[in-house]
């Protein structure tokens, strides 16, 4: 599912954020947008998201919303986005439930029974693939599929999965995110539930969701994207998923990733572009250029002094962060940068 013509070049070991003379919404035909931390937080739209997405869409960019949450159906996600002021149809939503349902359907016969440990989104996705969801290990399932089932998921559901897996039934998981954001804070995600079954059975599931290839394949099949840009806030799912799929990525700083994590990013976690929020889709991205032994962006120059990163100049905080990324990633090479960036990040308010 490779694509051609990505402006960012998607180098395998990125040592600095890329620049773009054109607005990203003009350089890419499709944005594959994460939801939590990118479009909304706690169910409410993030600042500038509604207006930025409307402008990108009116300019001809296809917007698709890609989520590892297998609980809600595409219809439910589309309705939520539309209520927020982001007109969305079910076909614009791609879930890990859809990705894992396709993965299962490629390995079992049409009409086969599949034991579901999860919510309605998973059942709908399985039926879409011509498979029959069942509730018990005694229903003779040919596969077990586990996805996020929400806080009301009964403990006995894990037992049913264990009984079936112990009989040799193959096990699939929509995703393995250990946590999921909620309006009250961080809650256990599907990955935590998968660990319960893993510990009890000693088995390993086949996993479909971000950052693994089945999820990227699902998004490309459903969107028809030729020049896709992944837009996310998490290094270990969104950005690594883009890396694994061979496409470019934009990290926005409205979610879980902070400056320190970004500077210490491994090669597969280094985004093509970095911006403060979704307004970054609507503009070009500044070049990060070598200046002496350091790197400059906007009015900032970043370099190394002893075992610490230093930053001189002034300007937009995100430009300073881009310059720091170049220094840190170059120092880290194909590993992790160990330089101290605490003081300079504090100066930027990051």
Average pLDDT, 10 consecutive residues per value, the chain (350 residues): 44 89 98 96 94 98 97 97 98 98 98 97 98 98 97 96 98 94 84 97 98 96 97 96 97 96 98 98 97 96 96 97 98 95 96
- The single residue of 29, 34, 236, 238 carrying the catalytic annotation is 34
**In this structure, what token pair is assigned to residue 335?**
């590993």
96-136 pLDDT tens trace: 999 999 999 999 999 999 999 999 999 999 999 999 999 99
What digits encode the pLDDT tens for the residues 20-64?
A: 999 999 999 999 999 999 999 988 999 999 999 999 999 999 999
What is the token pair recorded at 142? Answer: 């040919």
- In angstroms, the CA 256 to CA 271 distance is 14
* CA–CA separation, 133 and 145 (whole Å): 9
- Tell me the sheet residues that pair with 251: 232, 274
Cα torsion 157, 193, 127, 206: sign: negative
* Catalytic residue flag (residue 79): no
CB 190 within 8 A of CB 146: yes
* H or E element that contains 328: helix 317-332
Segment (H or E) for 217: helix 213-223
DSSP 8-state assignment for residue 46: P
pTM (2 decimals)? 0.93
36 is catalytic: yes
Catalytic residue among 36, 177, 236, 248: 36
């Amino acid at each position: 599912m490779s694509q051609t013509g990505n402006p960012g070049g998607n180098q395998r070991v990125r040592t600095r954020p890329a620049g773009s003379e054109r607005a990203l919404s003009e350089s890419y035909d499709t944005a594959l947008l994460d939801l939590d931390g990118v479009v909304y937080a706690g169910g409410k739209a993030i600042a500038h998201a509604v207006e930025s997405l409307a402008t990108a869409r009116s300019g001809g960019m296809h917007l698709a919303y890609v989520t590892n949450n297998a609980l809600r159906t595409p219809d439910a996600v589309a309705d939520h986005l539309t209520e927020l002021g982001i007109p969305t149809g079910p076909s614009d939503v791609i879930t890990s439930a859809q990705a894992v349902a396709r993965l299962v359907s490629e390995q079992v016969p049409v009409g086969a029974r599949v034991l579901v440990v999860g919510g309605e989104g998973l059942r709908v996705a399985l039926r879409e693939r011509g498979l029959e969801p069942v509730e018990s290990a005694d229903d003779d399932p040919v596969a077990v599929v586990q996805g996020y089932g929400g806080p009301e998921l009964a403990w006995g559901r894990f037992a049913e999965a264990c009984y079936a897996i112990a009989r040799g039934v193959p096990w699939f998981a929509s995703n393995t995110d250990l946590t999921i954001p909620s309006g009250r804070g961080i809650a256990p995600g599907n990955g935590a539930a998968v660990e319960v079954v893993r510990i009890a059975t000693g088995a390993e599931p086949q996993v479909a969701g971000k950052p693994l290839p089945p999820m990227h394949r699902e998004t490309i099949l459903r969107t028809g994207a030729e020049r896709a840009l992944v837009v996310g806030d998490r290094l270990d799912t969104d950005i690594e998923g883009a890396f694994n799929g061979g496409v470019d990525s934009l990290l926005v700083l409205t979610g879980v990733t902070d400056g320190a994590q970004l500077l210490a990013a491994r090669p597969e976690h280094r985004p093509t572009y970095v911006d403060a929020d979704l307004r970054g889709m609507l503009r070009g991205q500044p070049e990060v250029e070598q200046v002496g032994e350091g790197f400059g962006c906007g009015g900032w120059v970043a370099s190394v002094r002893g075992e610490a990163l230093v930053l001189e100049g002034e300007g937009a905080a995100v430009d300073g962060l881009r310059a720091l990324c170049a220094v840190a990633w170059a120092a880290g090479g194909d590993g992790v940068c160990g330089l101290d960036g605490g003081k300079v990040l504090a100066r930027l308010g990051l």
